Chain A
Amino acid sequence: MTQSADAVVVGGGFFGMYLALLLKARGLSPVILERGPDFMLRASYHNQARVHNGYHYPRSLMTAVRSRVNFPHFLQDFPESIVEDFDKYYAVGRVLGKVTADQFETFMARVGAPLQPAPERVSRLFSSPLIEKVWKVREVAFDAGKLRLTMRKRLEEAGVEFYFEADARCLTHRADGAMELAVETNGGRRLYGTPWVFNCTYSGLNRLRYHSGLPLLPLKHELTEMALVQPPQELQNLAVTVMCGPFFSLMPFPDRGLWTLSHVRYTPHHAWKEGGSQSGTEAWQDAYEHFDRAVKSTDGPLMIRDAARYLPAMSKCRQEGSLWEVKTVLPQSELDDGRPILFHRDPEMRGLVSLMGGKLDNIYDIPQELAALGLGM
């Protein structure tokens, strides 16, 4: 039998959860369907846990400025998930880099991001022939485990309905103009009749579209690995990002009590693209299935080797495992529009909206887009 809902949010990642709260606040009664056993077990958990504050994008003014604007909001909205017990440093490399120290300083001054020269005790840790300059900055991390709890509590308090192990498979038009969403659950099959479907499935965005016979959105997927490491004593409570080229980033990963080491060269193991062609019949592969089947042999030792060239103490860091995830990004053309999130209303199925953000704080761009749909406050 068919259930009806005001709106169905497919995907219980951070974006889906946040969107459901917004919809609820606007008087709708959304239902969240998540195929995993809990909220936020995919990209919203497996990431660098960085709350962006502009420093990471010294070549994209728009993104940097938006990050700066969102930063205080995020801190205010999720205080219990914010981790600040470390000092954050950014450094600019001399060789192979795409920005110089001067450019970095000028840029940050323009977007108003505070920079302070690193104290001698810290800058001494870096290898001077390879690193031009080091700054202390204001950037924080979030604890994905705590964020999950907070968000879940808010959903429960708001009375939002949600189901786990519910896999949204296929969407069809109904005669009355609404849509019908077929969902596979561990108990069998369920159907939802609804005027709005919000597809917040990140690397699964095209999966639902493909099964529904809709043209694919142009997306690029990467199989990514971040090494989980225990940094040596002298680097404890210190997070480092070397800009802007084939460099690395060391960030706390509070939920595991460890640190993630990611590297522009070694974190993406391979990439594949989908969508974007005229015909709409491009080869498609299930990103989640691909992820499950892919061989995951760690490149952690390479990340550590390279990081140690810039920050010699890194050679003493111990790898304790890896975080693997599919990272999905919009191809460059989309990014150049300066739109930090993908908010795509299907031209055919007008009630289907695909929503994806490249970083967590992009949630603050959603309200404006909702308003454009007539779902504003």
Chain B
Amino acid sequence: MDKSLVVSVVVPLRNGAEILPAFLGELAGVLKEAYYFYEIILVDDGSTDRTPRVVAELLRVQERVRFLQLSRPYGREIATAAGLETAIGDFVVVMDALTDPPAMIPDLVARCRLGSGVLCGISSEPEKSGLLTAWATRLFHTYCRKVLDIDYRENSTDFRVLSRQAVNAVTRIRDRRRYLRIFAATLGYQQECFTYQPRTAVNQSRGGLQERVEHAIEIVIAQSRHPLRVVSRLGLLMSVLNVLYAGYIVAIYFLKPDVARGWTTLSMQMTGMFFFLFLILAVLCEYVGRILEETQERPLYYVAAEQTSSVLLETSIEKNILNEAKAI
């Protein structure tokens, strides 16, 4: 383990006055043991209990703690983003004060350092939920994986480690709706997972079926144009079908002797209208999709690594030694 790594721990909070003192003590103990330099960033997402006062007390006794107070409750994702944006560490750990065990941090950081840029936690306790909810959740995760190409695992929690590079990439995303679990998975950095047992069986407030459906819709809309694409294809298909139907009407008019009066014109008018309606919708969908992409202002790509030539190695070593000698 490399003690000279700088590690930041981001803890988004809401109403944590009860658990904070013990948690912070434990966390600081682990970090102090493992690293020369670390920082703990507590992000208060609009607590209504004594949290600010408790933290103010703790700041006087615990070293290297920073406390960010958001101006109003923004939600856990934005709170985490605020923490990430100000974290200075080579590695940044995001964790939940209630469920995630600090003792795992040094190993996780070491693992993240060896492997990929992102290491994310999977709860070993499958959530307890109704049959329908469980089924719908599974379906959604499959959809994410198969169709949207997002590696969004089931039972994943917010406990994760990000390399500096991954943090830099995530902080470039300025969406109003943020889903770190997803972003981290879509950045293109290799994502690894680890399974652990949360301390309390708190499902990260993902709520009941209705809440989850809303959540799922938001994720899909924020992450992908897929639904829009599906709809625009459908629109195109419908307009083609309408054209065919128009052919059918004309055929009937000529071939069948006993067509009711007015049926042909009425039908022609209807199919004509629907043809244009669906065509227009399809075109609009495509444009809306483009606008969405533009307004999100996401960087086009992320550079995962950059290498430069390393000529003149000898001279720089020599220079190093010279400078060492006159170091003060």
Residues of A within 8 A of B (CB): 95-96, 127, 129-130, 228, 230, 246, 256, 299, 301-302, 305-306, 309, 318, 320-321
In the complex the two chains form, is B328's CB within 8 Å of A256's CB?
yes
Complexed CA–CA distance, A180 and B174 (Å):
67
Complexed CA–CA distance, A95 and B86 (Å):
8
B47 to chain A, nearest CB (A): 20
Known: A95-B86, A306-B88, A309-B88. A129 touches B171 (CB 8 A): yes
Complexed CA–CA distance, A230 and B327 (Å):
11
User: What are the residues of chain B within 8 A of A95 when measuring CB–CB?
Assistant: 85-86
User: What are the residues of chain A within 8 A of B86 when measuring CB–CB?
Assistant: 95-96, 246
Mask, B1-13, CB within 8 Å of A = 1, is 0001010000000
User: What are the residues of chain B within 8 A of A246 when measuring CB–CB?
Assistant: 86
Chain B residues numbered 210-228 whose CB sits less than 8 Å from any CB in chain A = none
In the complex the two chains form, is B6's CB within 8 Å of A305's CB?
yes
User: What are the residues of chain A within 8 A of B172 when measuring CB–CB?
Assistant: 129
User: What are the residues of chain A within 8 A of B36 when measuring CB–CB?
Assistant: 301
Residues of B within 8 A of A (CB): 4, 6, 36-37, 39, 85-86, 88-90, 168, 171-172, 174, 323, 327-328
B107 to chain A, nearest CB (A): 22
Which listed residue (B6, B89, B327) contacts A320, Cβ 8 A? B327
User: What are the residues of chain B within 8 A of A96 when measuring CB–CB?
Assistant: 86
Complexed CA–CA distance, A27 and B168 (Å):
63
User: What are the residues of chain B within 8 A of A305 when measuring CB–CB?
Assistant: 6, 37, 88-90
B252 to chain A, nearest CB (A): 63
Complexed CA–CA distance, A299 and B63 (Å):
12
In the complex the two chains form, is A321's CB within 8 Å of B88's CB?
no
Known: A96-B86, A305-B90. A320 touches B37 (CB 8 A): no
In the complex the two chains form, is B323's CB within 8 Å of A230's CB?
yes
Which residue of B has the minimal Cβ distance to A265?
B66
A96 to chain B, nearest CB (A): 6
In the complex the two chains form, is B328's CB within 8 Å of A302's CB?
no
Question: Nearest 9 A-B pairs (CB), nearest first?
Answer: A321-B328, A306-B88, A305-B88, A129-B172, A320-B327, A95-B85, A305-B6, A301-B37, A302-B37
Which residue of A has the minimal Cβ distance to B174?
A129
Which residue of B has the minimal Cβ distance to A299?
B37
Complexed CA–CA distance, A78 and B199 (Å):
65
User: What are the residues of chain A within 8 A of B88 when measuring CB–CB?
Assistant: 302, 305-306, 309
Which residue of A has the minimal Cβ distance to B85?
A95
User: What are the residues of chain A within 8 A of B6 when measuring CB–CB?
Assistant: 301-302, 305
In the complex the two chains form, is A321's CB within 8 Å of B85's CB?
no
Which listed residue (B37, B168, B327) contacts A321, Cβ 8 A? B327
B168 to chain A, nearest CB (A): 8
User: What are the residues of chain A within 8 A of B323 when measuring CB–CB?
Assistant: 230, 318, 320
User: What are the residues of chain A within 8 A of B37 when measuring CB–CB?
Assistant: 299, 301-302, 305
B296 to chain A, nearest CB (A): 14
Given A129-B168, A305-B6, A305-B90, 6 more A-B residue pairs with CB atoms under 8 Å apart are: A95-B85, A129-B174, A228-B328, A302-B39, A302-B88, A320-B328
Which listed residue (B4, B168, B328) contacts A301, Cβ 8 A? B4
B67 to chain A, nearest CB (A): 12
